[in-house]
Amino acid sequence: METVGKETPPAGFDQAYFENMFAASDDPWQFRQRWYERRKRALTLAMLPKARYASGFEPGCANGELAAELATRCERLLASDGSPRAAALAEERLVDATHVRVERLILPENWPDERFDLVVISELGYYLDSAQRDVLGARIEASLLPGGTFLACHWRYPIEGWEASGDDVHAAFDARAGLHRLAHYEDADMLLDVWSNDPRSVAHCEGL
């Protein structure tokens, strides 16, 4: 597994916020312990409309728990995070997955010069301002291969210090003209949406 670092964070990225969280714990959101988190990952995998993907990308991968499960559905997977500590933890978590690459990328500025048939954004969008979310959406749309899948999942409760909600994030993604929403799940805690540049359903893609 290759780990690549981007050493200079773009202006506006609050690196200290995330570094402080990972300094206090290697699992600050309790991805491994909480049933909410394990259930969310199971729902995420279940909502993917394809059984396998050639090339996936999970930006904001934190300590790599979701990336480890996405790796079972991808021939190649790029996982990235802006926090050096998080990227190091993800590399440790994914050390046995030789088809996974971990990079330290601060989004949306450090978007990889690659194209993907799967992009997964989980619990990331509300840490960006509205202009950054617009850039993120444009870069996802531009990097998605024909027939590719874009999945987003976000917490719906207010997050202290951040003004956008999960509902705000998903509404912005849903407004993009080049993306068609294929699936939607919501409950009191989370939103989970799947978009594609191909509007056909799973059954239609298989010829009904």
Digit-coded pLDDT (tens) for 96-116 = 999 999 999 988 889 999 999
CATH of the domain at 190: 3.40.50.150
Tell me, what amino acid is at 64?
Answer: G
Q: From CA 204, how far away is CA 118, in angstroms rounded?
A: 19
pLDDT digits (tens, 9 = 90+) for 8-49: 333 344 666 666 666 656 776 677 888 999 999 999 999 999
Residue 176 lies in a domain: yes
Instruction: Provide the residue range defining the domain that includes 170.
Output: 35-205
Scanning the structure block, which residue is given the tokens 């059984």?
51
Strand order in the sheet with 53-59: 3-5, 100-104, 74-81, 53-59, 116-122, 144-155, 190-196, 180-186
Residue 6 lies in a domain: no
Q: From CA 126, how far away is CA 35, in angstroms rounded?
A: 22
Residue 191 lies in a domain: yes
Residue 17 lies in a domain: no
Question: Binning pLDDT at 50, 70 and 90, where does residue 148 land?
Answer: very high
Q: From CA 129, how far away is CA 163, in angstroms rounded?
A: 8
CB contact set of 56 (below 8 Å; sequence gap of 6+): 70, 73, 74, 76, 77, 78, 116, 117, 118, 119, 120
Distance of CA 206 to the CA centre of its chain: 27
Task: Count structural domains, the chain.
Answer: 1
How far apart are the two ends of the chain, measured CA to CA in Å? 39
Q: What is the DSSP letter of 10?
A: P
Residue 89 lies in a domain: yes
The pLDDT of residue 184 is above 70: yes
CB contact set of 82 (below 8 Å; sequence gap of 6+): 9, 13, 15, 18, 60, 104, 105, 106, 107
Residue 7 lies in a domain: no
Residue 142 lies in a domain: yes
Residue 2 lies in a domain: no
